[in-house]
Amino acid sequence: MSGAGLPEIGIPDGRGLRVGVVTSRWNEPVTALLQERALAAAAEAGATAEAHVVVGALEIPVVARALAADCDAVVALGCVVRGGTPHFDYVCDSVTAGLTRIALDTGTPVGNGVLTCDTQEQAVARAGGPGAAEDKGREAMIAALHTARLLRDLEDRR
């Protein structure tokens, strides 16, 4: 499992921060849990979060781009499970490149909580449910909020 080395930074102060959350419906039992965990982390931090749902992972970047124009941070949530064709590689590469481009082009942090798993069991283990080894929705929100707070603090120093 990929959670090794995860830093323990705690919940950042999200007061005054607005976060757009875009979640794919594909593999909905997993993505609904990712969204639930991300929204709970935003509430715990005191941030305002608004949730939006798209059909699949390939639709996430275009909505994330729109949210980046109006939000302090964006969290992207989805679940792509490897199948028997190269489609998995194309989807994962496209989504990751798109989210990275959005963050760099807009200066808006994007928390990437799009799971890329070999099996459905791995996806469930990473989604943050009872007994799960990881909590990627929460982690994506914390990363986005932490970066948004840091960027705001750096801007305030000017």
152 is in an annotated binding site: no
> Does 157 belong to an annotated binding site?
no
For 33-62, give one letter per residue: b (16+ CB within 10 A) or e.
bbbbbbbbbbeebebebebebbeebbbbbe
87 catalytic, yes or no? yes
The answer to the question of whether 81 is labelled as a binding residue is: yes
> Does 26 belong to an annotated binding site?
yes
* Annotated binding residue 39: no
Residue 33's Cβ-side half-sphere holds a number of Cα atoms within 13 Å equal to: 17
Residue 57, annotated ligand binder? yes
Q: What's the half-sphere exposure (Cβ side, CA atoms, 13 Å) at 111?
A: 31
- What are the CA-CA distances from residue 125 to residues 20, 21, 80, 113, 131 (Å)? 25, 21, 14, 14, 8
96 labelled ligand-binding: no
Question: Which one from 87, 97, 101, 152 is the annotated catalytic residue?
Answer: 87
Q: Would the CA dihedral through 71, 75, 76, 77 be positive or negative?
A: negative
Question: Annotated binding residue at 112?
Answer: yes
Q: Which residues are annotated as a binding site for 5-amino-6-(D-ribitylamino)uracil?
A: 26, 57-59, 79-81, 112
Q: Which residues are annotated as a binding site for (2S)-2-hydroxy-3-oxobutyl phosphate?
A: 84-85, 126
Q: Which residues are annotated as a binding site?
A: 26, 57-59, 79-81, 84-85, 112, 126
Enzyme catalytic residues: 87
